[in-house]
């Protein structure tokens, strides 16, 4: 087609029309994609800067998932602490019930003294119960039945008092509390003559025995609950630590230290034998449980602080992502209103250029009028 010669007017109008068509194509692309920069050829600086901002926003979005999982791990630990607090309070209540078991209406307290084969010397027998000590005078070589009668005949003892004496017919003196679960001790000025082997005889409470079993059961539940407070393989109540990264390079992070909050870790241990029969043991248990409750509450506050930090960082990361994405969009997104106006202008201009090209072509056709 190089042998075709166009006039200057037609060539100029044709060039303008080609430029307008190219601009129309570009504008239509902007409207279709919503971007004014679609490739590095459109604007290298804006394209690569926007891409960098978008990549950083994507990295932070991935971190948000990890941060969210860390929050769930903390929530699981907090659930565990709530449960532990409840179980500890139940254990405390159990011990306190045992302390008050002397006023309970279940069970009975008995103590047995083996008098068989002993030569009884004159002296006194002391029965201590409810803060009162009763003194019973014993004559030399007294029979079991005599001692029994002397005890029951002492004011404050006997069937209308605190403790009643009976025997089993085989030389065994049996003392039984009249008020269920009232504890008592037995001693004497001539302990060797009474077969006490130098130590007092203490009655036992069946209610305390039951409560001791319940207490040990609660300790088992405490250990099991602490072991079940894991999330996604991490248990902050079973000694596991958790590190939460707040940036892609790991230079900004939070390490949450785990604790061991099974029964042993909280300083609690099973009570064996007749431990709950001792008031001092019960008082010690109350102190230990209160310490454990204080420890759990303090750890709840620590995890709460960690949770607050994570929530703050979550909000910060989300705002940063929004800022990065907005900045990236500002560099490449097209103004739809402006592009729409450009399209209308270019379409009008194209129509005018087509008309101008037609006029220029008509000028060239005027030479045909010279030929009949």
The domain total for the chain is: 2
87 shares its domain with 230: yes
What is the extent of the structural domain holding 176?
Answer: 110-204
Q: What is the pLDDT of residues 324-364, one digit of tens each?
A: 888 877 776 666 677 677 767 767 776 766 776 676 666 55
* Contact criterion met (CB below 8 Å) for 310 and 71: yes
Q: What is the pLDDT of residue 119?
A: 47
88 shares its domain with 221: yes
d(CA 130, CA 316): 65
78 shares its domain with 142: no
Secondary structure E strands in the chain: 110-114, 123-129, 132-138, 163-167, 172-177, 184-188, 201-202, 242-245, 253-256
62 shares its domain with 194: no
* Contact criterion met (CB below 8 Å) for 115 and 171: yes
128 shares its domain with 224: no
95 shares its domain with 118: no
d(CA 262, CA 239): 10
82 shares its domain with 114: no
174 shares its domain with 239: no
Q: Does residue 147 lie in a domain region?
A: yes
Q: Does residue 192 lie in a domain region?
A: yes
Q: What is the pLDDT of residue 196?
A: 36
261 shares its domain with 154: no
Q: Does residue 89 lie in a domain region?
A: yes
d(CA 73, CA 63): 15
Q: What is the pLDDT of residue 180?
A: 55
Q: What is the CATH number of the domain that holds 250?
A: 1.20.1330.10
Q: Does residue 340 lie in a domain region?
A: no
280 shares its domain with 214: yes
221 shares its domain with 298: yes
Q: What is the mean pLDDT of each run of 10 residues along the chain (372 residues)?
A: 60 70 69 70 78 82 87 95 97 92 50 53 65 78 81 87 81 72 59 40 73 96 96 94 88 93 96 86 94 96 94 89 82 68 71 68 60 57
Cβ atoms < 10 Å from Cβ of 87: 21
Q: Does residue 352 lie in a domain region?
A: no
Q: What is the pLDDT of residue 297?
A: 96
Q: What is the pLDDT of residue 90?
A: 97
In a 13 Å sphere around the CA of 115, the CA atoms on its Cβ side amount to: 25
279 shares its domain with 213: yes
Q: What is the pLDDT of residue 199?
A: 35
Query: Nearest Cα to 271, choosing from 262, 281, 261, 257?
Result: 281
Q: What is the pLDDT of residue 103?
A: 40
- What pTM, to 2 d.p., does this model score? 0.59
């Amino acid at each position: 087609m190089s042998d075709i010669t166009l006039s200057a007017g037609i060539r100029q109008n044709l060039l303008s029309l080609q430029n307008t068509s190219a601009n129309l194509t570009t504008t239509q692309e902007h409207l279709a994609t919503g971007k004014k920069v679609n490739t590095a050829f459109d604007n290298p600086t804006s394209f690569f800067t926007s891409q960098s901002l978008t990549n950083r926003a994507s990295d932070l979005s991935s971190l948000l998932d990890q941060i969210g999982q860390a929050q769930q791990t903390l929530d699981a630990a907090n659930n565990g602490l709530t449960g532990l607090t409840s179980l500890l309070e139940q254990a405390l209540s159990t011990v306190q019930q045992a302390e008050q078991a002397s006023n309970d209406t279940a069970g009975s307290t008995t103590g047995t003294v083996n008098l068989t084969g002993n030569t009884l010397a004159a002296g006194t027998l002391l029965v201590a119960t409810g803060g009162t000590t009763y003194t019973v005078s014993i004559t030399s070589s007294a029979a079991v039945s005599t001692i029994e009668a002397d005890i029951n005949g002492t004011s404050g003892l006997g069937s209308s008092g605190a403790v009643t004496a009976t025997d089993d017919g085989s030389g065994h003196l049996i003392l039984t509390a009249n008020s269920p679960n009232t504890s008592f001790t037995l001693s004497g000025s001539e302990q060797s003559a009474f077969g006490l082997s130098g130590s007092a005889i203490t009655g036992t409470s069946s209610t305390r025995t039951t409560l001791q079993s319940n207490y040990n059961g609660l300790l088992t539940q405490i250990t099991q609950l602490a072991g079940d407070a894991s999330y996604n393989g991490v248990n902050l109540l079973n000694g596991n630590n958790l590190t939460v990264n707040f940036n892609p390079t790991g230079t900004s992070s939070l390490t949450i230290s785990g604790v061991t909050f099974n029964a042993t870790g909280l300083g609690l241990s099973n009570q064996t034998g007749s431990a709950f029969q001792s008031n001092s043991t019960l008082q010690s248990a109350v102190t230990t449980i209160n310490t454990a409750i204080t420890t759990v509450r303090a750890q709840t506050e620590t995890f709460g602080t960690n949770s607050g930090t994570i929530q703050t960082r979550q909000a910060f990361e989300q705002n940063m992502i929004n800022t990065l994405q907005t900045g990236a969009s500002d560099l490449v997104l097209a103004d739809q209103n402006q592009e729409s106006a450009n399209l209308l202008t270019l379409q009008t201009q194209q129509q005018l250029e087509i008309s101008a090209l037609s006029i220029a072509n008509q000028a060239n056709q005027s030479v045909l009028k010279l030929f009949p």
